[in-house]
Amino acid sequence: MIEVAELTKRYAGHTAIKNLSFTVRKGEIVGLLGPNGAGKSTTMRILSCFMPATSGTARVAGLDVFSQANEVRRQIGYMPENNPLHQDMRVREYLKFRARLKGLSRVRSRDRVDVVLQQCGLKDVSKKIIGQLSKGYKQRVGLADALVHEPALIILDEPTIGLDPNQIRSVRQLIKELGKQHTVLISTHILPEVEMTCSRVLIMRHGKILAADSPENLQSRMDKGTHIRAEILAPLADLQASLESMGNVEQFDIAPCEGDYLLCSLTGSEGADLREEVFEMVKEKGWKLRDLSRSRYSLEDIYVRVTRQEEEPN
Amino acid sequence: MQPFFTLTRRELGAYFVSLTGYVIITVSLFLIGLSFYTIVSKLQAESTPLPITELFYITPFFWLVLLLSAPIITMRVFSLEHSTGTFETLMTTPISDWQVVMAKFTASLVFYMVMWLPLLGCLAAIRYVTRDPSSMDPNIVGTTFLGIFLLGCLYMSMGCFASSVTKSQMIAAMLSLAIGLSLFILTFLGEQLPMEKGWAVATLNHMSMLEHMQDFSRGVIDSRAVIYYLSATGFFLFLTYRVVESRRWK
């Protein structure tokens, strides 16, 4: 659906993206993840034909974004950052205007506006003035606008920014729903959002892609050794000795926690799952165990590690 | 063409759903009314051989309406879209840059012409009171409105250009007022220069709006004036187009 090759965009004085290459297949929900200024919005603006790249090519549905801009625009539903809307229009009127602007016939635009009003839960506010709506509703109006011409690809730039937790949840749900019929490219710097909604993640920084994979694969790639957390009631010296004698433990740490329990954090050597061994050990010694769990790298850890690795050589 | 008409309708609608449109119309109605009052009180003192429309344009209120309304009508067309970010949503729909420029220009021009309609009412009132058919000669009224239309083309295109270069409506209004006022003042500059034949005087006279309007309000269509306004309008629209297009320069 999207093929980007060697894309570079230079603004006066600095380079926003450098030799960016990636592809997005049909039906995927892809998240562009990166700190502010990583080049996410620039990439999206180029894909949506708002401005051209300095060099390189980008194709959407097989069409070049620069030379076939109008055809590409028909294929894309784009919601820019901060979701700009005409504050003085009413919801239905605005969507009708947008549908007509995107070339839909009078009858078809009326039908489509009804469909997207339903789809985005805007039926109740269709006659209200956009400027008077809450932020959550405005965001849905933006989404409805992106959907109104039935685009094959939907590009959303930070769709949940500035919303309260409930609104974020409903917008995410909506995006997930969209993923069933459309290809979706969203950008964000909120990690759980990507974890919850996306099937693939592109981590960007300084205009380059640092990592690209599904959230699960990224996690397992980072999970060289597993982390175990156990709360054990035992004499400190004995526990220390037992852990030292355990075979697969790469490193461990013991700290007191509430009650008289000791909190042990263990890192196993590659691939080893220490949970059974810990349980056996406790059972054998007759200690007490009240918590035993494996912690995985969260996407947040991955993100921090990937972006740090990038910084270190500099 | 569909996107063009859709956008024109929306732009025109924007004047009438908000208060701005009505404020502009009210103020210009007040000024036109004031000039009507001035004319009527002068006519009571003495009769005049001049057509009524010429008397209208001689009053300073006529020029005040033109010079003040143009920046206010056009200041929002691009600046507002730039500052709210809707420019981005607009330019990612299948609409060409020319269509955007022309739609915004057309909408402001139509609004400007609607604003001038009360002038017809004033003329009709004089016709009704004096019972003199020559006071509302359709040809003279037609050429007067042609003159108003051509001046409007120039000032609206100027305003669109001023609005396209800045995010601030305030700056856009001041910029278009500055350009508009300078062009207007050139007329007086031409009058002040010694009447020797020279290209400078000839050029300034050629650009004299007062003289053009005098012709139009007498029922004279001077093709030089028509070409002057149309080409100047084209020039400013082209500049606007280049500004809109500039985001795509690599």
Mean pLDDT, residues B24-35 taken together = 90
Q: Are residues A140 and A79 in the same domain?
A: yes
The DSSP string of B25-74 is: HHHHHHHHHHHHHHHHHHHHH---SS-HHHHHHHSHHHHHHHHHHHHHHH
> Same structural domain for residues A68 and A46?
yes
Instruction: Please indicate, yes or no, if residue A13 is contained in any of the structural domains.
Output: yes
Residue A147, in any domain of the structure: yes
* Domain, as residue range, for A19: 2-221
Which residues of chain A have a CB within 8 Å of the CB of B22?
none
C-alpha span between B75 and B68 (Å, rounded): 11
Number of domains making up chain A: 2
Which of these three, A221, A247, A278, is where a domain ends? Answer: A221
Better-scored residue on pLDDT, B90 or A295? B90
Considering only CB atoms, B86 lies closest to which of A48, A86, A102, namely A86
Looking at chain B, which residue has its C-alpha nearest residue A156? B89
Q: How far is B238 from chain A (nearest CA, A)?
A: 20
Q: What's the DSSP call for residue A90?
A: B
- On the question of pLDDT at A314 being above 60, the answer is no
Note whether A101 contacts B: Cβ–Cβ < 8 A. Answer: yes
Residue B248 has pLDDT above 80, yes or no: no
Mutation for testing the A interface, residue in B2, B91, B93 having most A CBs under 10 Å: B93
Could B18 and A87 be called an inter-chain contact, meaning their C-beta atoms sit closer than 8 Å? no
Q: Which of A169, A203, A221 is the last residue of a domain?
A: A221
Same domain, A244 and A204: no
The CATH number given to whatever domain includes residue A153 is 3.40.50.300
Among chain B residues, the shortest Cα distance to A55 is held by: B250
3-state secondary structure B172-223: HHHHHHHHHHHHHHHHHHHHHCCCCCCHHHHHHHHCCHHHHHHHHHHCCCCH
Do residues A263 and A139 both lie within one domain? no
Q: How far is A72 from chain B (nearest CA, A)?
A: 8
Distance from C-alpha of B228 to C-alpha of B242, rounded to nearest angstrom:
21
In a domain, A311, yes or no: no
The alpha-carbon gap from A93 to the nearest alpha carbon of chain B, in Å, equals: 10
Mutation for B interface: A41, A101, A105, A130, most B CBs within 10 A? A101
In chain B, pLDDT over 70 holds for what percent of residues?
A: 98
Quick one: CA torsion of A33, A39, A44, A45, rounded to 10 degrees?
Answer: 160
Q: Which residues of A touch B80 (CB under 8 A)?
A: none
Please check whether residue A160 lies inside any domain of the structure.
yes
User: For residue A214, which phi and psi values (nearest 5 degrees)?
Assistant: -75, 155
Determine the pLDDT at residue B176: 94
CATH, residue A285: 3.30.70.3100
A274 and A175: one domain?
A: no
At residue A32, the pLDDT reads 87
State the average pLDDT for chain A: 84
Contacts of B92 in chain A (CB under 8 A): 48-50, 73, 76, 78, 80
- Does B88 contact A80 at a Cβ distance shorter than 8 Å? yes
> Is residue A14, in this structure, part of any structural domain at all?
yes
Domain boundary (A188, A221, A254) is at A221
Are A94 and A80 in a shared domain?
yes
pLDDT score for B134: 73
One domain for residues A240 and A138? no
Tell me which DSSP letter residue A259 carries.
Answer: T
Instruction: Find which of A143-152, A267-276, B202-211 is predicted with most confidence, using mean pLDDT.
Output: A143-152
Distance from the Cα of B89 to chain A's closest Cα (Å) equals 7
Same domain, A56 and A155: yes
pLDDT of residue B195: 66
A151/A268 same-domain check: no
**Does residue A222 register a pLDDT over 70?**
no
Contacts of A89 in chain B (CB under 8 A): 10, 17
| Boundaries of every domain in chain B | 2-248
pLDDT at B186 over 90: no
pLDDT tens per residue across span B77-127? 999 999 998 999 999 999 989 999 999 999 999 999 999 998 888 888 888
In three state form, how does the secondary structure of A4-69 look?
Answer: EEEEEEEECCEEEEEEEEEEECCCCEEEEECCCCCCHHHHHHHHCCCCCCCEEEEEECCEECCCCH
Looking at the fold, whether A106 and A178 belong to one and the same domain comes out as yes
Q: Is residue A105 part of a domain?
A: yes
With beta carbons under 8 A apart, name residues in chain A contacting B17. Answer: 88-89
pLDDT category, A312, cuts 50, 70, 90? low
Beta-strand pair A183-188/A76-79: unpaired
Same domain assignment for residues A97 and A244: no
In this prediction, residue B19 carries a pLDDT of 85
Q: What is the pLDDT of residue A223?
A: 59
Residues A86, A171, single domain; the answer is yes
pLDDT in tens, A10-61: 888 788 888 888 888 888 888 888 877 788 888 898 988 888 888 888 888 8
Does some domain include residue A301?
Answer: no
Looking at B20-29, B170-179, B193-202, B229-238, which range is the least confident one? Answer: B193-202
| pLDDT tens profile A128-182 | 999 999 888 898 899 899 999 989 899 998 888 778 888 888 888 888 888 888 8
pLDDT of residue A309: 66
Q: Read off the pLDDT band of B11 (50, 70, 90).
A: very high
Q: Tell me how far apart the alpha carbons of residues B47 and B50 are, in angstroms, rounded to a whole number.
A: 9
